[in-house]
Amino acid sequence: MRTMAYDVIVLGAGPVGENVADRVVKGGLTAAVVERELVGGECSYWACMPTKALLRGAAALRAARSLPGAREAVTGDLDVAAVLARRDGFSSHWKDDGQVAWLESAGIALHRGHGRISGERTVEVTGEDGVTTLLTARHAVVVATGSSALVPEIAGLREARPWTSREAAAASGVPARLAIIGGGVVATEMATAFASLGSTVTVLARDGVLPQAEPFAGELVTASLRESGVTVRLGAEVASAGRDGDGTVHLVLTGGDRVEADEVLVAIGRTPNTRDIGLDTVGLEPGSWLAVDDTLRVLDGGGWLYAAGDVNRRVLLTHQGKYQARAAGDVIVARATGAPVDDARWGRHVATADGRAVPQVVFTDPEVASVGLTAAAAEAAGLRIRVVDHDLAAVAGSALHAEGFRGQARMVVDEDRRVIVGFTVAGPDVAELLHAATIAIVGEVPLDRLWHAVPAFPTVSEVWLRLLESYGR
């Protein structure tokens, strides 16, 4: 067996694994990444990038149609083939040459194949040709193997060959009828995308629409989906499924109702890619999420094992995984070189923001942008809060932005510290509004100082002033 040694070995070359390796190399250590599929991971080829490319054309069309003067210039409908072709481009046509070239330029070694931990600081890589290479790490092994779509144990569902987010993101055509199981982020984004591309969509949202978000966000998205022709069935649970000889999928709901579709997309959350990575060889449970401390070191992982990104379940988002990667890479370098470890809250070597200040944009119509705690989550955390709401349509910038603008903003204030701990905004094109709130929350900017952060007129950001005015001085 061929053997090779590096300072750090990273299992998985998704956005998170790539970034851990980059930080480690920038810190003066050597690093190798092990990748069994495409360098770039889920985000680049089957998640963030292709799905946003599927959504963007319809969003631009909606924006034009919402403006007298511009709407008259729109003479046709979406060009579905062009949307799919643009999506193909944003997925690099499912080829990773560009990302491999970046790895080379960054001085990171790549081992293609399935990686398995085989003991303390060792990883076995089995290539497609069956040849195995043994890698040893002088300092750390980082698991960044990500997650996969969870398919529930519903009678007949697996045999019905459901789509997961992968098939939806990479679809080469548009099914006439699409049923979606789930009401979360993937379900609402893909309902928005496929409805705009011409599918007749049914969303089966057992637990509601965007149940993790502020309630007004789910309500606005549900109303908008329904207006665009999507059937949204709140509380609907699928009891059994089947696909008949002509390809039609039949779903039977608890209570007996039936739904027919040409494809069914399962979007009920994720499962960690840890079933076959050798966790048992180091006393950990195969198939489990890898719990970590704030420096991303695996609990009971011997001190040399780290886990970053989706696989540790802290936050399943690319930007937050990459934030963890920067902390993990830097702390591995610090520990390897004997430099001081800065693991105090908000220190260089910890991912403090994971707990309290995670930004997310759901690219539905309307967009939902949020950071920090919802009112419900803040109350559950025992904070004494005050909730301030404002109609987003009632600022001049919004009225100018689109006719019939609909939206809502909410800030959640920690009354004991007089700082914002949560912010949610729903409305057309609000994604870029979010970073101001992220800075206010991470910076723990006192409300009295925020009065001096004056939003420009006439922008949608003026809602910040209105929220402060409602709160009072």
Ligand X SMILES: Cc1cc2nc3c(=O)[nH]c(=O)nc-3n(C[C@H](O)[C@H](O)[C@H](O)COP(=O)(O)OP(=O)(O)OC[C@H]3O[C@@H](n4cnc5c(N)ncnc54)[C@H](O)[C@@H]3O)c2cc1C
- Which residue ranges make up the site for ligand X (CB under 6 A)? 11-17, 34-37, 41-43, 47-48, 51-52, 114-115, 144-147, 165, 169, 186, 273, 277, 309-311, 316-319, 321
Quote the least distance from Cβ 170 to ligand NAD, whole Å. 14
285 token code pair = 């449970």
The residue range among 65-73, 180-188, 227-235, 417-425 that interacts with ligand NAD, by the rule CB under 6 A, is 180-188
Q: Which of 156, 215, 269, 397: binder of ligand NAD (CB under 6 A)?
A: 269
Taking the least distance from each CB to ligand NAD, the nearer of 232 and 447 is 232
Examine residue 156 and tell whether it contacts ligand NAD (CB under 6 A): no
**Could you tell me which residues are beta bridge partners of residue 231?**
202
CB of 40 to ligand NAD, least distance (A): 16
- The piece of 117-125, 251-259, 262-270, 343-351 that touches ligand NAD (CB under 6 A) is 262-270
Binding positions for ligand NAD, 193-212, rule CB under 6 A:
206-207, 211
What is the nearest approach in angstroms of ligand NAD to the Cβ of residue 139? 31
- Applying CB under 6 A, which of residues 12, 17, 113, 182 lies at the interface with ligand NAD? 182
**Between residues 181 and 467, which has the closer beta carbon with respect to ligand X?**
181
- Contacts of 407 by beta carbon, 8 Å cutoff, 6+ apart: 220, 366, 391, 392, 393, 398, 425, 426, 427, 428, 430
Contact criterion met (CB below 8 Å) for 68 and 403: yes
Q: Which residues share a beta bridge with 181?
A: 204, 266
Which DSSP string corresponds to 252-275?
EETTS-EEEESEEEE-S-EEES-T
Question: Rule CB under 6 A: which of 279-338 touch ligand NAD?
Answer: 316-317
Three-point CA angle 351, 356, 362, nearest 5°: 100
Contacts of 258 (CB under 8 A, 6+ apart): 250, 251, 252
User: What residues pair up with 203 in beta bridges, in sequence order?
Assistant: 180, 232
Could you tell me where the beta strands, DSSP code E, fall in 79-188?
A: 109-112, 114-119, 122-126, 132-143, 147-149, 177-181
Among 146, 162, 184, 272, which residue sits at the site for ligand NAD (rule: CB under 6 A)? 184
**Of residues 36 and 139, the one with the C-beta less far from ligand X:** 36
Q: How far is CA 271 from CA 116, 267, 280, 316, in A?
A: 18, 12, 18, 11
Contact flag: residue 185 with ligand NAD (CB under 6 A):
yes
What is the rounded CA–CA span in Å between residue 40 and residue 216?
A: 35
Among the listed residues 45, 323, 363, 405, the single contact to ligand NAD using CB under 6 A: 363
Residue 463 CB, nearest distance to ligand NAD (Å)? 21
Report how far residue 423's alpha carbon sits from residue 77's, in angstroms, rounded to the nearest whole number.
35
Nearer to ligand X, 83 or 467 (CB): 83
The entry of ligand NAD, ligand X, none near residue 187 (CB within 5 to 8 angstroms by kind) is: ligand NAD
Task: Please answer whether residues 216 and 423 qualify as being in contact, where contact means their C-beta atoms are separated by less than 8 angstroms.
Answer: no
By the criterion CB under 6 A, which residues form the site for ligand NAD? 152, 181-187, 189, 206-207, 211, 267-270, 316-317, 360-363
